[in-house]
Amino acid sequence: MPSSSPIILNVNDDLASRYVTSRVLSLAGFQVLEAGTGGETLALADEHTDLVILDVRLPDLSGLEVCRRLKSSPRTRNALVLHLSAQAVGAAERAQGLAHGADAYLVAPVDPEELVAQVHALLRLRRAEREVRVLSDQVQQQRRLLDLAMSAAADPIALYDGDGMLIFANHAVAASRGSHHVHVPGRNMDALRTLDPQLEPYALSLEAARRTGQVQRGRVTLSSDQGPRHFEYTMSPAAGPSGAVEAVIATGRDITEVRNAEDFREQFLGILGHDLRNPLNALSMSAQQLQRQGEMTQRQKVFTERILISAERMDRMIRQLLDFARARLGAGLPVVRSRCDLFDVVRGAVDESSASHPHREVRLELLGDGRGDWDADRLEQVVGNLVSNALKFSPPDTPVRVVAEATAKEALLRVHNLGVPIPEDQLPHLFAAWRRAGRSEREQGVSAGLGLGLYITEQIVRAHGGTVQVTSTEAKGTTFTVRLPRG
C-alpha cells in the first residue's frame, strides 16, 4: 500500500553511510527503505517507490545497470533516481550516470541540508510529472471521446485548418457520397474542387469563412451512388489569439427527402393551379352570362354576384399558386420589361383597391418622373398585394398611404398603414412562402389567404433587381418599402 509520505529507497553497501543518509531523510519526514545490493534494490522497488538514492558501486551490480533496469521496467520507470557516490566523483562518471537515466547526481559526503533540499526538488519534479501524466491522460481520453463522437455522428462533419487543408472527415462524409467521396485528410480545398467540381459553392463558402471569420451557410447538390443528394451546410470558423482564423468546422445535413417532397409539392401545385383554371373560367363566364341576360330575382342576383366574387378570389389564388410554382421550380418569376410609367401602374392598382373597398381611404402621392423599363403587369401585382395587405390589417377608420417617388437612379414605393404592428420575431420570415402577416390580433375576422402574397411580391421585386423591406412599430405603424433600379 502506498504511504502518505514519499517512499525513498536508500541503496548503499556501506552500512555507516547508509545509516547517516537514512537518518537524515527520516528526520525530514520521509519513509525510508534500505538495500545493500543491486539485487535487493530491484526486488524492493515497485510502482509506489518515489525516489531511489543509489550508490554507483555495488557489490553485485553496477549502480548504472540498476538505474537502467529501474527505468526500463514498467513497474519502476516513474521512480526518480539520485546517484550518491563517494568514489565515482569525476565529471565523466557523473555524465555517464545521468546518461543511464539518473535524474540527479551528488558527490558524498554531502551536506544534510543540501541532500534534503535536493530530494524535495526531485519529488516536486515527480509530482509535476504525475500531474502532467494525469492531465495528459484526461486530454487523451477527451480527445478519444471527441474523435469517437465526431466519427460516429450521423451528419457529415469536416474540419479544416486555417489554410483550407482538410484535417478530419467523419464516416458520414464518405457514406453520403459513396464512390464519389473525395474528402481525404491532407487535401486542400483547391484539390478537392478539382477532383469534384460540384463542390465549388461549398469551396467558396469555406474561403469566405476563412477570409471573414464569419459563419457561412448554404446548400449544395452532389452526386452519390444513390443519385443526386441535397445538403445544407454550416461553416463555423475559429479564430486564434491573433484574430486570424485557425480552423473551420463544417457540419452538413442531408435534406434530399425534404427537397424531393418540396419539389413534388410545388410541381403538384403548379399542375393543380393550371388545371383549375378551365372549370373556374367556365363558372365565371356562366355567372356573367346570367347577369347579362337579366330577368333575375333579387335573390338570384345576390347569388350570382357571390359566385363572381368567389370566382375572382379563386382566380387570384390560382395565379398565386402558378407564380409560386414558377418561382420555386424555375429561376424566379419571369418579367417582361417594356417602356411604361410606373406612376400609371401605381395609380391603377390604387384605384382598383379603392373600388374594392369603397369605405376606406387610400391616399396617393406621386413625386418625380415614373417612366422607365419595367414589367407593368407584375408591378401592378406588387402594388395590389401591398395595398390589399395594408387595408386588410389596419383599422377601418384609418387611411392607407401610398407614396411613389422616382429619382435619377431608382424608384421607391412606400405603403404605410396604422394598427397592431407585426411581431418583431416574425419580421425576418415575413416574405417566406406559406406565411401570412402573422399579426394574430389583426387577423381576427379577416379572411385568410394562401400566405403567398408577400412571397410573390418579393420575387417580382427581386426579378427587377430591387429590394423590399418592412418596418413595423406601435408608434409609427407598418411601412413596406420597395426600391427598384431604373431599367
CA angle at 388 for the pair 387 and 394, rounded to the nearest 5°: 85
* Same domain, residue pair 304 and 381: no
Per-residue model confidence as pLDDT tens digits over 98-124: 888 888 888 888 889 999 999 999 988
Per-residue model confidence as pLDDT tens digits over 138-158: 888 888 887 888 888 888 999
Domain that holds residue 454: 338-485
- 391 contacts 418 by C-beta, under 8 angstroms: no
* Same domain, residue pair 361 and 475: yes
462/171 Cα distance (integer angstroms): 40
24/84 Cα distance (integer angstroms): 14
* Same domain, residue pair 305 and 347: no
Task: Give every CB contact of residue 58 below 8 A, 6+ residues apart in sequence.
Answer: 11, 13, 36, 37, 38, 41, 66
At residue 277, the pLDDT reads 63
CB atoms closer than 10 angstroms to residue 175: 14
Per-residue model confidence as pLDDT tens digits over 315-355: 766 666 666 666 665 555 677 789 999 999 999 889 888 87
- Residue 303 pLDDT exceeds 50: yes
Residues 113-149 as b/e (b if ≥16 CB within 10 A, e otherwise) read eebbebbeebbeebeeeeeeeeeeeeeeeeeeeeeee
* Same domain, residue pair 18 and 123: yes
- 300 contacts 276 by C-beta, under 8 angstroms: no
CATH number for the domain that contains residue 206:
3.30.450.20
Number of domains in the chain: 4
Distance of CA 370 to the CA centre of its chain: 44
* Phi, psi for 280 (deg, rounded to 5): -70, -40
* Same domain, residue pair 243 and 274: no
* Same domain, residue pair 215 and 250: yes
In-domain check, residue 182: yes
Share of the chain above pLDDT 70, in %: 87
* Same domain, residue pair 246 and 273: no
* Same domain, residue pair 323 and 342: no
Domain end, chosen from 204, 219, 254, is at 254
* Phi, psi for 105 (deg, rounded to 5): -145, 120
CB atoms closer than 10 angstroms to residue 411: 26
Pairing relation of β-strands 477-485 and 467-473?
antiparallel
* Same domain, residue pair 342 and 481: yes
Domain end, chosen from 205, 229, 254, is at 254
CB atoms closer than 10 angstroms to residue 3: 10
> Cis bond leading into 396, ω under 30°?
no
Per-residue model confidence as pLDDT tens digits over 249-291: 999 988 887 777 666 666 666 566 556 666 777 777 887 878 7
In-domain check, residue 148: no
386/402 Cα distance (integer angstroms): 10
In-domain check, residue 22: yes
* Phi, psi for 143 (deg, rounded to 5): -65, -40
- 154 contacts 165 by C-beta, under 8 angstroms: no
Question: Cell triple for residue 473?
Answer: 412599430
CATH number for the domain that contains residue 396:
3.30.565.10
Domain end, chosen from 193, 227, 254, is at 254
Task: Give every CB contact of residue 359 below 8 A, 6+ residues apart in sequence.
Answer: 396
Least confident interval from 205-209, 283-287, 395-399: 283-287
DSSP label of 57: B
